[in-house]
Structure 1
Amino acid sequence: MIVNSIPINQFSFMKLIDSSVSSYGFASSAHLFTQFHDFIDSEFCNSLVRTYTHLNKHIHSVFVYTQMRKAEIFPDFSTFPAVLKSVAQLGRGDIGKSIHCCVVKMGFFSDIITNTAVVHMYCTCLLPSEGRQLFDEMPERNAVSWNALITGYTHNRKFREAIDVYREMQAAGAEPGEVTMVGVLSACAHLGALNQGKWIHDYICHNRLRLNVFVGTALLDMYAKCGVVDEAEKVFGAMRVKNVYTWNVLISGYAMNGQGEAALQAFNRMIMENFRPDEITFLGILCACCHQGLVDIGKRHFISMKEEYALQPRIEHYGCMVDLLGRAGLLDEAQELIGTMNRKPDPIIWRALLGACRIHGQTQLGEFAIKNLLELEPKNGENYVLLSNLYARDRKWIEVGKVREMMNRIGIRKVPGCSSIEIENVVYEFVVSDLMEPRYEELYKSLADMKMELKVVGYAVYTDMVSYDIEEEEKEHTLIYHSEKLALAFGLLKSSADMTLRIMNNLRICQDCHQFFKLVSMLYRREITVRDRNRFHHFRGGVCSCKDYW
């Protein structure tokens, strides 16, 4: 094609678009489609859209699509999947809805590839309900369609829904593949649904699905996040191909399960096998050092990250170091590190420092940390709870009351404790409550009996962190109904004596519950695993894997 002595093909037209956009912006570049209208058809535009999508120039892809519509160049079956992928990457659900309307109006609503692309777009743009509605209306589905919904639910942290869709997929006779396995294993990992995860592992083996690097890493992550490190190690050993992410999952899995030495050994093996560590690797190593109190080793790795591997520490790495130093009582050194940061401290930093102040009773420094924290996050209830606990530790009940009044005045509520336990492939949830709930009556009685038995072997209720200056009996009443204790009582009542109880908790386990679980593991001869917000606690024979350092 020759226009004004300029040869027009896809490559030259893309150069014209890129040059025009760089100089004048998208709005002013629209004239190109008018200028060369006679030489541009749907096939030409489709090729542009696909190429821009492939090059990750997603805004350019959407630009070409909009100009097609303005120039009355009609999209076809190959237009929508590419442009919808770009819309998904841009996170522009509003544009996606407009394109979906165009799909319906132009009669493409029965095309399985286009519909799957729309489902993927909605889920990626954090609109899973719209994605599910369209999925249910699709006249035809294939494995890719099911995968889009499963992965979409996982992306939106709707993990139970992802597992439910996987079961629907099997009931419908669709064949799960590697992509399916990765999505549903990720959901199991986040839920701590070990039995479901094991079932999927068996399915992979029996149906001879490839244990490629993606499926293998997802399996490894599932076992690590369910607290079954020995199975994670077996999966790692069986993988023929590994990447840096695989090593990172192994190292982080060791760290969160209280096996700091194993994490360090894995790091050394990773280096010996010529894998170059990245920022995530070092985050796992620093977390391992933090959980084990390995201050000197943590310092060395933090320095080597910068000096040997030319990696710039992120705010999360600084947060780990502040936490590591603070927990060890090196609060002056932690403050000095904060002062040398090449960026402004964020809530991660101040929360780590505040947590250390609570442990070591440094109220004055804690007040300084909370002042900075509240400036950055005035609506985060966790910050007020930390401050309240800091005052409660020193029995400053007037200050505790002031914090509570402030929370009530500005409408902030503490995040309620929520724990779950999986029994016979069913996940049960328990929420802490200040009121007696009839549905928990059996559990309340069981907990009361357990407390009496535990007191015989030395259990003393740890009431220092209960935030009101009330009678000890009332404090004990408050602590005994924590959600993790309700889940524990349920597990003891509903499971066989040889079953390990695995409990998930959305908050950090409190000191009273920690002591309670240790003694239960000894007296009842049960292995108990608790995954709280920060790490795993493996209780066995009256001892915890964290060695009381958390």
Structure 2
Amino acid sequence: MLRKITDLLLHPSRLSSLVPQSIPCKTPISRRINPQFPPDSSLKALCIKGSLKEALLEMAIQGARVKFDGYDSLLTECVNQKAIREGQRVQGHMIKTRYLPPIYLKTRLIVMYVKCDSLEDARQVLDGMSERNVVSWTAMISAYAQRGHRSEALNLFVHMLETGTLPNEFTFATVLTACNGPFGLEYGRQVHSLVIKSNFESHIFVGSSLLDMYAKASRIHEARGIFDKLPGRDVVSCTAIIAGYAQLGLDEEALELFRQLQKEGMSSNYVTYTSVLTASSGLSALDYGRQMHNRIIRSELPSYVVLQNSLIDMYSKCGNLIYSRRVFDNMSERTVISWNAMLVGYGKHGLGRQVLELFESMRREEVRPDSVTFMAVLSGCSHGGLVDEGLETFNMMVHGQDIEPEIEHYGCVVDLLGRAGQVDKAFAFIKQMPFEPTAAIWGSLLGACRVHANVPIGEYVAERLFEIEPQNAGNYVILSNIYAATGRWEDVINVRKLMKKKTVMKEPGQSWIKLDRTVHTFHVRDKFHPKREEISAKIWELSVKIKEAGYIPDLSCVLHDVDDEQKERILLSHSEKLAMAFGLMGTPQGFPIRVVKNLRICVDCHNFAKFVSKVCGRELSLRDCNRFHHISGGVCSCGDYW
């Protein structure tokens, strides 16, 4: 197919000199409306009333007298009611009375079958047309694209070009939505070339589809270039570029662009707000998420389920489960996605009991769980230390549901057993799985080996991971942790040499805290923050206070064979400690301190935060790459189980 498009590009004469122009209807007006019979007002009147059965009876009575207007009204009402059997009767009546429908009516037949999800019948109508126009082709291409039949949509587009029919803006906008998947970018670039030749690049519909195609292919800079060149922008194009940034995890860029477009007078719809909420979730920007919620309320948008689901997800990822549950409880309609969002939220916060209670409520309301539901429940049991309940849920899925467990569900069981210290049992479970274990499953077990100091299995698992993903620095670091915890410093050095040999770079730890509408970023041993000296002094002050309360630094978290004093200095330079100290300096008493970290929080930083919370009387919220830690009065919501 790609070769065909390329061939057409290299021989533009075959496309009849691609220039935008209207496509005249080749069917003469005399064939479209027979002057012998005036427009059938009775059929139209019945269709306007929505009396489709009576209209069909009237069609049967009139027989061969039914012409263009009557058929048009009947097919329009069949489309409105998605009445496929009635539409088939209309088509059968045309055949029986030997009526030769014009292109317009045959296209209406295609649309009718598409609306009724009968693509095979729609394609038969298209293939049976002796004459087709761009609208006929586009209707069928759109049907394939919207239902995920990418290959069929692209092949039909090529077939249309080969017949000499010139695409219009709607054709291009539609076919670009089919340009995704493994070869989507290649096809998309070819279609983009045709768009340029046809001079449709600046059209708002085509431009929006182009930038969306590039954004989904992770080519956000190309998408932004198209967006910036659009002579006019509407809510669709603005939303497409914002969503592109958010979907790629470029959350700050998404929020900044939204702010900029708001100043330029951009209007927003529920899809826009959904994308902005996704970006707020990624940054754990609770204040900004609340502002978006207020905007949504003021805009008086209808209660779109997808928007409310995004609010649940945003609040839970920003650490405010009370608001998540409030949105959930106030929903007039809930889908399985709504339940899943709330279940995942509870699981991320380690509230395994609440996960199980909500799951039971879901079953009582006879909402059918899907594979994501069971993933959320198993993960919640894993984070909450509910081993028996998790295994029972997995057995329920295997024996009592129509959903076949996927490899991710098996991975949750491995994580469940590993976190609980049952490393040998988790290892045996992996060997009995009907799937080949993935890097994620081995990684979960390796993390459990680090926590529970299981060196033999840890070494075996690490070797498997080095084969599967040799450039993942995290695996080398965890193995180093395992060796360091047992004092095997020579092995720690060997792991570092192996990393250097394979040019593996460790991702540096970073922590963020937002104060006065500014996000402050801290790195390990940060030397660039303007208040680094005051922060360092604050950390030492805290260290002295919490030691008096019983804090003992966990020196096993340091992967260097140095003396204890140096190890303690290294621990105090961790990014989350710097962010906590800065938060204590910059927020008044009574306000919670919210810190986000890109990696897993270490044991010493977790203990440090608990003692700081107790001594200073402050509430701390730490979000790492795995979960939330809500710490108050020296107690963490995770129960020291994470």
> How far 1:357 sits from its partner (Å)?
1.8
Any conservation in 1 of the 2:522–2:529 contact (CA below 8 Å)? Answer: no
Deviations 1:395-418 (A, max 9, x none): 000111110111111111211111
Taking the aligned partners of 1:331 and 1:291, their CA distance within structure 2 comes to: 16
Taking the aligned partners of 2:416 and 2:135, their CA distance within structure 1 comes to: 59
Taking the aligned partners of 2:416 and 2:498, their CA distance within structure 1 comes to: 31
Taking the aligned partners of 2:216 and 2:423, their CA distance within structure 1 comes to: 42
What's the counterpart of residue 106 of structure 1? Answer: 198
> How far 1:457 sits from its partner (Å)?
1.4
> How far 1:15 sits from its partner (Å)?
6.9
Change (3 A) 1:153 1:358: same
> How far 1:258 sits from its partner (Å)?
2.0
**Match of residue 124, structure 1, among 199, 205, 216:** 216
What's the counterpart of residue 42 of structure 1? Answer: 134
Which secondary structure does the structure 2 equivalent of 1:407 belong to? helix
What's the counterpart of residue 374 of structure 1? Answer: 466
Q: Which has the larger radius of gyration?
A: 2
What's the counterpart of residue 403 of structure 1? Answer: 495
Higher relative contact order (CA 8 A, sep 6+): 1
Which stretches in structure 2 are left out of the alignment for 5+ residues?
A: 1-26, 28-100, 114-118
Q: How many residues align?
A: 530
What's the counterpart of residue 76 of structure 2? Answer: none
Any conservation in 1 of the 2:551–2:608 contact (CA below 8 Å)? Answer: yes
Taking the aligned partners of 1:526 and 1:443, their CA distance within structure 2 comes to: 17
Any conservation in 2 of the 1:397–1:469 contact (CA below 8 Å)? Answer: yes
What's the counterpart of residue 28 of structure 1? Answer: none
**Match of residue 617, structure 2, among 510, 520, 525:** 525
TM-score for the superposition, normalised by structure 1? 0.91
1:63-212 matches, within 5 Å, as 63-88=155-180, 92-212=184-304
Does 2:641 align with 1:544?
Answer: no
Deviations 1:199-226 (A, max 9, x none): 1111112222223211111001000001
> How far 1:135 sits from its partner (Å)?
0.9
Any conservation in 2 of the 1:189–1:222 contact (CA below 8 Å)? Answer: yes
**Match of residue 367, structure 2, among 264, 267, 275:** 275
Which secondary structure does the structure 2 equivalent of 1:87 belong to? coil
Deviations 1:82-120 (A, max 9, x none): 101111466612322332232233222332111111111
Change (3 A) 1:237 1:66: same
1:397-476 matches, within 5 Å, as 397-433=489-525, 436-437=527-528, 439=530, 440-476=532-568
Opposite residue 611 of structure 2, the aligned amino acid is L
Moved more, 219-228 or 325-334: 325-334
Any conservation in 1 of the 2:398–2:404 contact (CA below 8 Å)? Answer: yes
Which secondary structure does the structure 1 equivalent of 2:178 belong to? helix
Taking the aligned partners of 1:16 and 1:202, their CA distance within structure 2 comes to: 47
> How far 1:256 sits from its partner (Å)?
0.9
Change (3 A) 1:44 1:383: same
What's the counterpart of residue 591 of structure 2? Answer: 499
What's the counterpart of residue 388 of structure 2? Answer: 296
Which secondary structure does the structure 2 equivalent of 1:86 belong to? coil
> How far 1:370 sits from its partner (Å)?
1.3
> How far 1:65 sits from its partner (Å)?
2.3
What's the counterpart of residue 85 of structure 2? Answer: none
Any conservation in 2 of the 1:196–1:425 contact (CA below 8 Å)? Answer: no
Opposite residue 560 of structure 2, the aligned amino acid is Y
TM-score for the superposition, normalised by structure 2? 0.78
Taking the aligned partners of 2:171 and 2:528, their CA distance within structure 1 comes to: 56
Taking the aligned partners of 1:176 and 1:358, their CA distance within structure 2 comes to: 48
Any conservation in 2 of the 1:193–1:427 contact (CA below 8 Å)? Answer: no
> How far 1:343 sits from its partner (Å)?
0.6
Taking the aligned partners of 1:407 and 1:17, their CA distance within structure 2 comes to: 58
Taking the aligned partners of 2:617 and 2:184, their CA distance within structure 1 comes to: 54
Change (3 A) 1:15 1:224: closer
Opposite residue 174 of structure 1, the aligned amino acid is M
RMSD: 2.5
What's the counterpart of residue 24 of structure 1? Answer: none
Any conservation in 2 of the 1:91–1:125 contact (CA below 8 Å)? Answer: no
Any conservation in 2 of the 1:420–1:503 contact (CA below 8 Å)? Answer: yes
Opposite residue 81 of structure 1, the aligned amino acid is A
> How far 1:386 sits from its partner (Å)?
0.8
Moved more, 124-133 or 206-215: 206-215
Which stretches in structure 1 are left out of the alignment for 5+ residues?
A: 2-6, 20-31
Any conservation in 2 of the 1:58–1:90 contact (CA below 8 Å)? Answer: no
What's the counterpart of residue 224 of structure 1? Answer: 316
Opposite residue 286 of structure 1, the aligned amino acid is L
